[in-house]
Amino acid sequence: MAKKKTNIHGVGKRKRAVARAYAKVGSGKIFINNELLDVMQPELIRMMISEPAVLAGATAKKLDIDVKVTGGGVWGQATAARQAIADVLVQTDKNLKEKFLNYDRSLLKADPRRTEPHKPSRSRAGPRRHKQRSKR
């Protein structure tokens, strides 16, 4: 007989932000960097992060999910956390994968775009910036 996993680990990434989600059997609470999701501000970000849990329904109510997010900005961190939560929920219940993909593919599939590295000799100005030239 297979042993049931007690701790499940999921990862989400967006731009420079990386989120690691840890789930264990509980009462359906979600913490983002030790802060309860229900008290997070702004409300739009809170709603976006909670989408996978709302779609999962009863599966999410059985788990306590703790998400640690580092790097990036506010929106990048929110998208990464959302992805990590979805990853944990899919590992718990494989039937959710198709549901998540039909709703929003970015819940399970990371966006591969990253910022372009700055080039030498003009590294403060940006990756493609050149010296200003006079036309006349």
For the chain, the structural domain boundaries read 8-107
**What secondary structure does DSSP assign to 24-55, as a single string?**
EESSS-EEETTEEGGG-SSHHHHHHHHHHHHH
pLDDT band at 1 (very low <50, low <70, confident <90, very high): very low
Is residue 26 within 8 A of residue 64, CB to CB? The reply is: yes
Q: The tokens of 78 are what?
A: 């929110």
The pTM (predicted TM-score) of the whole model is 0.84
Question: How many Å is the Cα radius of gyration of the chain?
Answer: 19
Please state, in angstroms and rounded to a whole number, the distance separating the CA atoms of residues 32 and 16.
17
Task: Quote the mean pLDDT of the chain.
Answer: 90
Please give the CATH architecture assigned to the domain spanning 8-107.
2-Layer Sandwich (3.30)
Please state, in angstroms and rounded to a whole number, the distance separating the CA atoms of residues 115 and 127.
9
Residue-wise pLDDT tens digits, 36-70: 999 998 999 999 999 999 999 999 999 999 999 99
- Looking at residue 67, its amino acid is V
